[in-house]
Structure 1
Amino acid sequence: MGAYERDNFGDLLFLIQTENYLTGADVTAAAPFPSDMSTLLDRKIPAFGKLLESEQFDHIWTVGGEVGATSFMTAFRMSVPPAILKTYRAASHSEKKRIIDSVCGSTPIDSPYIPRPTAYPLNASASLTLNSVGFVGAPNVPRDRLETIMALVREADRISVRDDGSSEFFTAQGIEHTVAPDLVHTIALTRPRQRAPESDTVLVQVSDDHLKRHGYEAHAEALARSKSLAPYRIRFFIAGTAPGHDSAASYERLIAHMRKIAPEREIDISTARRPLDLVDEIASARLWIGLSLHGRIVSSAYDVPRISLTKRKLNSYSATWDPHMPYDVTPDRLDDAVAQALDPVTMKESAGIGLDLAHRAKHNIESAVSEMLGSDPDERTRRRFAQVERRRQHLAQELASRDTEIAVLRRELETTNSHLADLRQAPGALGRATYRGLNAVKNRLKKSD
């Protein structure tokens, strides 16, 4: 299970690397939404919901990624074809449900990349592994939705998180887990190669959303005026083409701004799209600059100097595993960061980190596979049914509590209504205040309902 229904470099590498360690298994790669990924992965990807409704599996495995805060509708908007999305947006409520059921199956999906085994009777006893997952954004998820996500997580047999921030969150939730480097580090072991030390190419990757939020001009200025970058050719790197990710059109706009400052600068855009071709391009670079976590991870695998622009999950991951190379970098600090990354002292400090992390990630997934194969399905079924019962009791208590709150609000509303009739002729200021108070109660009641 993973986000490989769309063009996103890191998610596609998750699948490739996971399959490298599941060679003895009959693997079905699925995603929340079906997609023809023949161009990038040589296969079509089915929707996991329909599969779990109709077929029985021994094990369910989430390959990794920042799954904690990703909602179903966010994934839906990024993944389905534009024609389906347009039809969905114009549809009625009942028609929207029909569209989702036709794409994903009829079982509601609470989290797009964490299947709930007990939601599918045929697979209620299948093992669930969450490997290399990130939950950095989970504390910002609304309470009710977060409780639902954590109920899913508690069905997992093994959880491996990839950074200290996610680990702190799980510890606070009282959920057992391990902390290990991202699985994609193992690319250093499965695809070994020497870095090209004399390369004159700097790879730069910036998403559309980031450029819109922080400004094309600011990034163009930082890249074009950097003295430390002046000796090198700049190549823009497309890590993914899903909505909000990267695009050649945005890079063309950025290049136009840069050429106003440095007309003679050698700049181009990478045309590579298949995930392992992108890996080779990073391995051959002089320097990596970007927002892609897996761009940084692949760079470290081949000892390529690297700079990460500011992004919460990147900051958390870099601080955990790769602290010597610059991260949390804004455009105004880019030139200093380039000088730091290419400094021989920094390069010496970070040399070999990639290989060390690769071995740690390899040990982690091998342990996960061993646990998966050795787990007892009967014990797992008993544990899951007990968890579902605890969840049912919690929801019943929560509903009773909210029923009480609604009853209190209704009485308050009735009292306010009775006073209102007497105050309609009150002076203007008092009358307005009364109406404001009434509206406030009505709004609170609507929220509770």
Structure 2
Amino acid sequence: MIRSPAGAPKPPANIPTILFGAFDRHNFGDLLFPHVVAAMLDDENPVFAGLVDADLRRFGGHAVSAIAPLAAAWGERPVNIIHVGGEILTCGAWHAAVMLLPPQQAHEAITRLDARPREALEWAQRRLGTRALAPYCLPKGLFSGAAHVIFNAVGGTELGQCDAALRAEVLANLHAAEEVGVRDRETLAQLAAAGVPARLVPDPAVMVAALFGERIARHARAGEIAQIRAAFPQGYLAVQFSADFGDDATLDAIAAGLERSARSSGHGVALFRAGAAPWHDDRACYARLVARLPATPVRILESLDIWDICALIAASQGYCGSSLHGRIVAMAFALPRLNLLHPAAPGRPGKQTAFAATWEPPEVRATVAVDELAGGIANALNANPERLRHTARELVEQYRSEFDAIRQRLE
């Protein structure tokens, strides 16, 4: 792609589409979204943009351009902007900026600024080149010639608990957009109460089996995934949890539940990271868990490639973990799934609970506490296979139908 002196891609002569989102860092779901949206648009040359320049192709992602210099270079040329998805409505500038840092720099920034919110915000805004409080939620005026601004299946389950100024900024940007799709009824209700019209749209990741099934199958037949499959002739559970589950008591509870589950089901445990960005998953926590499972067959997937992760889940007996998109990819492949509830989780519904309440059959459990893990896994594994297949088909049909609204906006 030809680049301007400032480093931003030069816009083509026709009205292009910018796919914008948090796929400028390593997070499983965020990296999947632009693949799905580009495939649904059948667009061979979209522009992939985030908050910073980043190259995630080694993980199966994209080469990403920073949105601020991109907007400056674009001038008044018309452009279509699609927010590709994710829990972007509640992501503040401080958290966004830290998650885009290498781990050591993130640790230093958190140590220095986490207890000083005003300085932290100023630092984050300088780093990202924007005064936005919620920088993954773009205002219509950022590109002066913007033809359409669209939000595709975004989430904001805790928008009501956000700082008032951030919430006001987000609502103003949503009011100005041509199309707003949200992925759960909790977010939909909050926007409706604020007078923002929105559509209910399944998360884009429900499409991975339908759109990329063969690609994922190729990954399942090679490399680490093939080795893990061979190591577990009786099958395995795909298991993941974020670093905040890493205290000793929580790891003890998870280990006890997985050990009981493996003993009763005969399945092994395959651990994977759904995100390597700061505040996501930590391999060291997995190593500490493995040390607590001396009698349980367990492997850690080293690969961070999103297609390897999809293949690990698709070839499993089911998924259990804290990642919403671990759950959704399991849904797409009609597999048992269960989200882990953090011991310190608040009473209000998180994004995992909100999504499950919106799209899962009533008999499919959303979450399980760590000290009830074995029973929760047993219950999930007993799910009716045809009911799981029916849900997967329904979600694909629903997403295709709702995505038509985006296509119509771009025509």
Which has a greater percent of strand?
Answer: 2
> Can you list the C-alpha shifts for 1:256-279, whole angstroms capped at 9, x where unaligned?
1222xxxx3211101232112211
2:201 to 180, 198, 207: 180
Secondary structure class of the residue paired with 2:299? strand
Q: Determine the C-alpha separation between the residues in 1 that align with 2:33 and 2:150.
A: 14
2:34 to 11, 15, 23: 15
Q: Determine the C-alpha separation between the residues in 2 that align with 1:363 and 1:213.
A: 46
1:69 to 53, 75, 90: 90
Q: Determine the C-alpha separation between the residues in 2 that align with 1:176 and 1:95.
A: 33
Q: Which residue of 1 aligns with 2:336?
A: 305
Q: Which residue of 1 aligns with 2:370?
A: 331
Secondary structure class of the residue paired with 1:246? coil
Q: Which residue of 1 aligns with 2:7?
A: none
Shift of 1:23: 2.4
Secondary structure class of the residue paired with 1:325? coil
Q: Which residue of 1 aligns with 2:304?
A: 273
Decide whether aligned partners of structure 1 residues 338 and 22 sit closer, same or farther in structure 2, where only a CA change above 3 A counts.
same
What root-mean-square deviation, in Å, do the aligned CA atoms of Structure 1 and Structure 2 show?
2.9
Q: Which residue of 2 aligns with 1:54?
A: 73
Decide whether aligned partners of structure 1 residues 135 and 351 sit closer, same or farther in structure 2, where only a CA change above 3 A counts.
same
Q: Which residue of 2 aligns with 1:161?
A: 182
Contact 1:202–1:232 (CA under 8 A) maintained in structure 2: yes
Which residue identity lines up with residue 370 of structure 2 in the other structure? Answer: P
Could you tell me the TM-score, scaled by structure 2's length?
0.81
Q: Determine the C-alpha separation between the residues in 2 that align with 1:25 and 1:258.
A: 47
Decide whether aligned partners of structure 1 residues 73 and 7 sit closer, same or farther in structure 2, where only a CA change above 3 A counts.
same
> Can you list the C-alpha shifts for 1:61-101, whole angstroms capped at 9, x where unaligned?
10001112110110101112357654798699999968854
Q: Which residue of 1 aligns with 2:128?
A: 104
Within a 5 Å distance, the mapping from 1:81-120 to structure 2 comes to 81-82=102-103, 85=106, 86=108, 101=126, 103-105=127-129, 107-118=130-141, 120=142
Contact 2:321–2:338 (CA under 8 A) maintained in structure 1: yes
Q: Return 174-183 or 40-49, whichever deviates more.
A: 40-49
Q: Return 124-133 or 171-180, whichever deviates more.
A: 124-133
Contact 2:242–2:282 (CA under 8 A) maintained in structure 1: yes
Within a 5 Å distance, the mapping from 1:344-359 to structure 2 comes to 346-359=384-397
Q: Determine the C-alpha separation between the residues in 2 that align with 1:127 and 1:170.
A: 20
Q: Determine the C-alpha separation between the residues in 1 that align with 2:123 and 2:323.
A: 35
Q: Determine the C-alpha separation between the residues in 1 that align with 2:391 and 2:266.
A: 27
Q: Determine the C-alpha separation between the residues in 2 that align with 1:83 and 1:246.
A: 15
Q: Which consecutive unaligned segments of at least 5 residues does structure 2 have?
A: 1-19, 221-228, 343-349
Q: Which consecutive unaligned segments of at least 5 residues does structure 1 have?
A: 375-449
Decide whether aligned partners of structure 1 residues 104 and 143 sit closer, same or farther in structure 2, where only a CA change above 3 A counts.
closer
Q: Which residue of 1 aligns with 2:10?
A: none
Which residue identity lines up with residue 372 of structure 2 in the other structure? Answer: R
Shift of 1:141: 0.5
Q: Which residue of 2 aligns with 1:440?
A: none
Which residue identity lines up with residue 10 of structure 1 in the other structure? Answer: G
Secondary structure class of the residue paired with 1:6? coil
Decide whether aligned partners of structure 1 residues 328 and 82 sit closer, same or farther in structure 2, where only a CA change above 3 A counts.
closer
Which residue identity lines up with residue 110 of structure 1 in the other structure? Answer: L
Q: Determine the C-alpha separation between the residues in 2 that align with 1:95 and 1:303.
A: 43
Shift of 1:44: 2.6
Q: Which residue of 2 aligns with 1:291?
A: 322
Contact 1:187–1:358 (CA under 8 A) maintained in structure 2: no
Shift of 1:28: 0.9
2:287 to 243, 248, 252: 252
Which residue identity lines up with residue 113 of structure 1 in the other structure? Answer: Y
Q: Which residue of 2 aligns with 1:137?
A: 158
Q: Determine the C-alpha separation between the residues in 1 that align with 2:158 and 2:202.
A: 18
Q: Determine the C-alpha separation between the residues in 2 that align with 1:369 and 1:50.
A: 27
Which residue identity lines up with residue 389 of structure 2 in the other structure? Answer: A
Q: Determine the C-alpha separation between the residues in 1 that align with 2:55 and 2:32.
A: 17
> Can you list the C-alpha shifts for 1:225-278, whole angstroms capped at 9, x where unaligned?
33665511111111111112112211001111222xxxx321110123211221
Shift of 1:222: 1.6
